[in-house]
Amino acid sequence: MAQKAQHAILRFVKHKAGPAGALEAHHERTKEKYASNPDIDISKSKDNFHIIQPTQKYRKEIDTRIKAAGCRTRKDSTMFVDTLITASPEFFTGRSKKEVQAYFTEAVAFMEKKVGRGNIFSAVVHMDEKTPHLHLCFTPITKDGRLSAKEILGNRAQLSQWQDEFHAYMKKAFPVLKRGESALVTKRNMAVQAVRRPDPPAAGHRKGGI
Ligand SMILES: [Mn+2]
């Protein structure tokens, strides 16, 4: 029987400073109840794990980096990027915890190479939703100290290149992976839907997210 192709998935969502607190609550599981996201099974939250642990509030992590680099900011600047990394659900079927850890550890190593370790302030793997996934947050500060998500994420062609590189990197450790669609910059709800329902998205948005 033909096996469904398995892909490594990479998505970016750009944020101003405003949503830092709400995203932190989701990523770091600081709330006790998640009525807005029924996919969270809190009995499994103990299996979530950090690859990079934040040392202070997200907002503080962001402000500290921007200040240290001396970046100029505008009201509409992207202050941080929420990166969602996962794979086709089939990829995770039957994999040991060690393998799942290895997958996301590789993904973080890739992101460190691409955006610089110093920009990343949190990388946490959620095992308590439908499909294991990594939320990695970073400040888009260039090597010469400018805040520019535009430059770091790039245009359509550069996003396609991101996906090429990501796929090539992940394939070294996990040869089963096939090149998937291009990396995407999405609006939050779109990112959620794309990951939850890879087939035609159903109408309506749910709050919360993956
Ligand atoms: Mn999540």
* Interval 24-43: pLDDT, tens: 988 888 865 656 677 788 88
Q: What is the mean pLDDT of residues 165-169?
A: 94
Which residues have C-beta within 8 Å of that of residue 169, sequence separation ≥ 6?
106, 109, 110, 113
Give residue 33 CA to ligand 1 midpoint distance, Å. Answer: 14
pLDDT at 75: 85
Distance 24 CA to ligand 1 centre (A): 10
**Residue-level pLDDT at 85:** 96
Name residues with Cβ closer than 5 Å to ligand 1, which is an ion.
126, 210
Per-residue model confidence as pLDDT tens digits over 54-80: 999 999 999 999 999 999 898 889 999
Distance 134 CA to ligand 1 centre (A): 7
**135 Cα: distance to centroid of ligand 1 (angstroms):** 7
CA of 145 to the centre of ligand 1 (A): 30
Global confidence as pTM: 0.84
